[in-house]
Structure 1
């Protein structure tokens, strides 16, 4: 069974996979797997950009989102006349002839990965480049990935990687066959300084506590007075900053729903 694996840490946002998908499918009829993709409006491979934090603590991350080729796909369940089927290799295919007029196939996908073609009156989506797979080739998006962020192959090839990977929106219960490494997570970051000398403070012990779960994380400020807490869950937190010779600073009960740049902390010297 085939799987896609995407490593967000390797993606530089070049959009090469998205462009390659267009090049492969626009104006090309790959029946019985797919009719031509429209010039605009469809992104069978879509690169999503997410900006975290606030200036100057900002990170921009990318993740690719094709059809998830789910093992328990909602599009298969709603399709009539076996218009959507799963191949033995795991790829989910919409039969462009049988699916004509079946708008429900496009509407039922919780990942919004199925598009409706008004001109052809059919639902369409990523096929995993099935026309290339039968020739022993890679999907065009994978072949075009310059950083190796996007991978495709037999599940057995990625056994070690998949133990560290996650799927998108597992709560949907669709059992997707697209796996993700290093997906964007929330962070809390900031800067600590001495207001009397107007200098950044290194070596400050910063403790972040998730009030909901009790989980405690610790970091130490670098030479620029910066600290970063990464891969956080949304929730209510408290933050404490300590350094010998300075008063303890406490920030209680703040919410983290998106990545947060905490206001600069001025540590006051002990009297």
Structure 2
């Protein structure tokens, strides 16, 4: 049996928020019998875009990613005390019954990832259920997917084993916030969410004149034998070493010449992505 899977490509997202607005529009003031009571006008968004920033001026990057129900396989929100109100369909969509969830704020605590919300006005627990009412009516995809102009978000139906193969072939990853759950929301090109970068500018000062150094080799390494991160400065003398594991701390930064001789060396502390500034070499 195949299940609905959402795939998000961070490299394609321009943060237009069409997905957020379309989802809000679908549920605001709308009661979908058997699926959902109307969403609240204010407060929690069932589908939102989060912003992850790395670095600081003059070197910074931003990655956006969706924050919504993971539609977990073996959903942890479905336990003995909740299974009368929360269920998972054969197609993987997790549904909260809007009638049986009435007056039960404790259902909010059933999700360890904070994806179930309490609607004070309707007095009901709610969450995003992948527009199940539209899928059941024959729609090929949820509205959030339909309105994405860059196809950063798309939906497929595939078994979990098939998705494992796709993930391995295409470099998909699970959302970091899923914390080991089997999420059916997948990320592509989202390495920035779990890694750091180190950047800087290499110059040479001659007779008081500062020139950019292009083509200089730059290396960042930890203890002997550990993984090193290598790069080359561009025409402006800038370098950026990315994909640095977030658990790295004290590391050694080196700038080498064409013969491999070290022209600059400094110990840097990698608590977060950073720009080390201008590096002068002789």
The one of 167, 177, 189 equivalent to 1:162 is: 167
Instruction: Indicate whether 1:221 and 2:221 are aligned.
Output: no
Contact in 1 for aligned 2:172/2:186 (Cα 8 Å):
yes
- SS of the residue corresponding to residue 78 of structure 2 reads helix
Closer/same/farther in 2, CA of residues 150 and 78 from structure 1, 3 Å limit: farther
- SS of the residue corresponding to residue 261 of structure 1 reads strand
- SS of the residue corresponding to residue 129 of structure 2 reads coil
Q: CA deviation at 1:8?
A: 0.6
- SS of the residue corresponding to residue 77 of structure 1 reads coil
CA distance in 1: counterparts of 2:57 and 2:211, whole angstroms: 20
Closer/same/farther in 2, CA of residues 214 and 40 from structure 1, 3 Å limit: same
CA distance in 1: counterparts of 2:262 and 2:181, whole angstroms: 52
Q: CA deviation at 1:102?
A: 2.4
Moved more, 111-120 or 137-146: 111-120
Q: CA deviation at 1:212?
A: 9.1
Instruction: Indicate whether 1:147 and 2:150 are aligned.
Output: yes
Q: Unaligned regions of 5+ residues in structure 1, if any?
A: none
Residue 25 of structure 1 aligns with which residue?
A: 27
CA distance in 2: counterparts of 1:85 and 1:213, whole angstroms: 50
Closer/same/farther in 2, CA of residues 143 and 266 from structure 1, 3 Å limit: same
Pairwise mapping of residues 200-239 of structure 1 onto structure 2 (< 5 A)? 200-211=212-223, 214-234=226-246, 235-236=248-249, 237-239=251-253
Residue 40 of structure 1 aligns with which residue?
A: 42
- SS of the residue corresponding to residue 162 of structure 1 reads helix
CA RMSD of aligned residues (A): 2.1
Contact in 2 for aligned 1:79/1:99 (Cα 8 Å):
no
Contact in 1 for aligned 2:113/2:177 (Cα 8 Å):
no
When the two structures are aligned, how many residues end up with a matched partner? Answer: 267
CA distance in 2: counterparts of 1:90 and 1:80, whole angstroms: 17
Residue 189 of structure 1 aligns with which residue?
A: 199
CA distance in 1: counterparts of 2:224 and 2:25, whole angstroms: 48
TM-score under structure 2 length normalisation: 0.88
- SS of the residue corresponding to residue 11 of structure 2 reads helix
CA distance in 1: counterparts of 2:155 and 2:81, whole angstroms: 27
- SS of the residue corresponding to residue 18 of structure 1 reads helix
Pairwise mapping of residues 89-168 of structure 1 onto structure 2 (< 5 A)? 89-137=91-139, 138-155=141-158, 161-163=166-168, 164-168=171-175
- SS of the residue corresponding to residue 141 of structure 1 reads helix
CA distance in 2: counterparts of 1:25 and 1:241, whole angstroms: 56
Deviations, residues 141-196 of structure 1 (Å, cap 9, x unaligned) = 00011111101121268676422211123773431111111112321111111133
TM-score under structure 1 length normalisation: 0.91
Residue 52 of structure 2 aligns with which residue?
A: 50
Contact in 2 for aligned 1:202/1:222 (Cα 8 Å):
yes
Deviations, residues 2-47 of structure 1 (Å, cap 9, x unaligned) = 1111111110111110011111111111121111111111211110
CA distance in 1: counterparts of 2:41 and 2:143, whole angstroms: 17
CA distance in 2: counterparts of 1:213 and 1:118, whole angstroms: 57
